[in-house]
């Protein structure tokens, strides 16, 4: 788990991911959290079925690089958003992240804090040299999260901006 000022980031196990997809508050019950009214988009459901669940089930992989990290508000004791790392570091030491905040918690700086927490965690992961992300060009809030966390825009496509953060991975003592 990762602790930030207002949040706890918790990597979900396979069984917890299955409960997450049900959106019936069974996960919240297991984690002793207050109920939430979250929903799962078609795209996220597809990602769960095709990528996230199979990768987390694969015992040869470090599940922390494939699972959903759920963000829990310490004050409200409620899930407020999620971040996913899209697989283990590649040959260049890159990991890719994707993230989202539940509607009722948007605009409060939570996602900036979540990404910052994951950045701090990756500094302790020797194989991670950089973090990449893509944002829809029309999603200003999403790319501001990356800018606030020192990501640099490295390119774009017709629909997306591509971002990168180089890690120093040097723990200062």
- The H or E element containing residue 33 is none
Tell whether 106 is covered by a domain: yes
- What mean pLDDT is predicted for residues 11-34? 95
Count of domains forming the chain: 1
Cβ-proximal residues to 36 (8 Å cutoff; 6+ apart), any chain? 25, 28, 78, 79, 102
Tell whether 54 is covered by a domain: yes
Tell whether 171 is covered by a domain: no
The domain in which residue 52 lies consists of 2-166
Q: What is the pLDDT of residue 69?
A: 97
Tell whether 172 is covered by a domain: no
Asked whether the beta carbons of 24 and 17 are under 8 A apart, the reply is no
Tell whether 65 is covered by a domain: yes
Each residue's pLDDT tens digit, 144-154 = 999 999 999 99
- What mean pLDDT is predicted for residues 132-154? 96
Please give the C-alpha separations between residue 42 and each of 12, 47, 81, 139, in angstroms, as whole numbers.
20, 9, 17, 18
Q: What's the DSSP call for residue 48? A: I
Each residue's pLDDT tens digit, 52-77 = 999 999 999 999 999 999 999 999 99
pLDDT of 169 over the 90 cut: no
Q: What is the pLDDT of residue 160?
A: 95
The structure's pTM equals 0.91
Q: What is the pLDDT of residue 168?
A: 73
Tell whether 72 is covered by a domain: yes
What distance in Å separates the CA atoms of residue 29 and residue 73, rounded to the nearest whole number? 15
Tell whether 126 is covered by a domain: yes
CATH of the domain at 40: 3.40.630.30
- What mean pLDDT is predicted for residues 129-147? 96
44 band by pLDDT with thresholds 50, 70 and 90: confident
Give Rg (Cα) of the chain.
16
Tell whether 158 is covered by a domain: yes
What distance in Å separates the CA atoms of residue 72 and residue 75, rounded to the nearest whole number? 9
């Amino acid at each position: 788990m990762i602790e930030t000022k207002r949040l706890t980031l918790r990597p979900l196990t396979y069984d917890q991911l299955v409960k997450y997809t049900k959106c019936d508050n069974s996960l919240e019950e297991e984690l002793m959290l207050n109920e939430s009214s979250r929903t799962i988009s078609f795209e996220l459901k597809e990602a769960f079925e095709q990528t996230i669940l199979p990768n987390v089930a694969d015992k040869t992989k470090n599940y922390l690089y494939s699972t959903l990290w759920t963000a829990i508000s310490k004050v409200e004791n409620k899930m407020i958003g999620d971040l996913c790392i899209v697989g283990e570091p590649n040959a260049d030491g890159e990991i890719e992240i994707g993230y989202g905040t539940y509607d009722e918690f948007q605009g409060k700086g939570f996602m900036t804090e979540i990404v910052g927490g994951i950045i701090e965690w990756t500094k302790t992961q020797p194989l991670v040299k950089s973090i990449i992300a893509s944002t829809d060009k029309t999603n200003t809030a999403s790319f501001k999260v990356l800018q606030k966390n020192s990501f640099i825009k490295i390119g774009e496509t017709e629909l997306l901006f591509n971002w990168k953060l180089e890690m120093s991975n040097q723990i200062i003592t």
